[in-house]
Amino acid sequence: AAGVIQSPRHLIKEKRETATLKCYPIPRHDTVYWYQQGPGQDPQFLISFYEKMQSDKGSIPDRFSAQQFSDYHSELNMSSLELGDSALYFCASSLIGTIYFGEGSWLTVV
Amino acid sequence: AQSVTQLDSHVSVSEGTPVLLRCNYSSSYSPSLFWYVQHPNKGLQLLLKYTSAATLVKGINGFEAEFKKSETSFHLTKPSAHMSDAAEYFCVVGSGGSNYKLTFGKGTLLTVNP
């Protein structure tokens, strides 16, 4: 069965650079979520989209933005990167309430 | 508002013995409850889900959880631990209607000793 696909799986950026993470949800899923998991932490909700419209916003910094495109894939854009942005970023998708996560994208800021 | 409390940050068991990972929740809505497992350097895998049908939910890999509304608990159990069960386990509550989202517990690290 198709799963949530995230790319890239690993990314290394320098401070003040910009990074873009991509997410391809499970086909026919109508909601996409982004979560951030710092080292040894539980995942923190960043933002979600329902049918390509932003539906909810969590603890997402102003330096971050996200959107969902007409083909339902989503991108998380992170600018002016800080060392504290180093984390595992999960994308998830859902249909009727069960949320499935991708393998995550590891971002390291040096 | 919703929240999840995982009562143990670390549980250590011997292979072949029972596993109990404890979770309490609070939610303003009728919640959906989940357990996810995360193996080292891996993504989050759904173990099982409760959505107001049967209170005893069976999941993958021999895990099950029982929803107890009076105790606001959703503890995860397995009769016999296997070495491959060693991982981080997250209890998660989902609710919110059109703004459906998940709230994670802090996680319980399960160690399985040979």
- B94 vs A contacts (CB less than 8 Å): 97, 99
At B7, the pLDDT band (50, 70, 90 cuts) reads: very high
Q: How far is A28 from chain B (nearest CA, A)?
A: 17
Written as one letter, the residue type at A97 is G
In 3-state terms, what secondary structure has residue B69?
coil
Q: How far is A56 from chain B (nearest CA, A)?
A: 6
Percentage with pLDDT > 90 across chain B: 68
Domains contained in chain B, number: 1
At B18, the pLDDT band (50, 70, 90 cuts) reads: very high
Which residue among B32, B98, B102 places its CB closest to the CB of A45?
Answer: B102
Tens-digit pLDDT profile for residues A42-79: 899 999 998 889 988 888 999 999 999 999 999 999 99
At B96, the pLDDT band (50, 70, 90 cuts) reads: low
Contact A75, A22 (CB under 8 A): yes
Task: Locate A81 and state its tokens.
Answer: 């990167």
Burial of residue B79 (CB within 10 Å: 0-12, 13-18, 19+) is exposed
- CA gap B23, B75 in Å, rounded: 5
Question: Residue B81's domain spans which residues?
Answer: 2-113
At B37, the pLDDT band (50, 70, 90 cuts) reads: very high
Position A42 scores a pLDDT of: 87
- Domain annotation for chain A: domains and CATH numbers: 5-109 (2.60.40.10)
**CATH number of the domain enclosing B54:** 2.60.40.10
Task: Locate B53 and state its tokens.
Answer: 């049908």
A43 close contact with B: CB closer than 8 A: yes
Q: Which residues in B have their CB inside 8 Å of a CB on A?
A: 32, 34, 36, 42-46, 49, 51, 90, 94, 96, 98-107
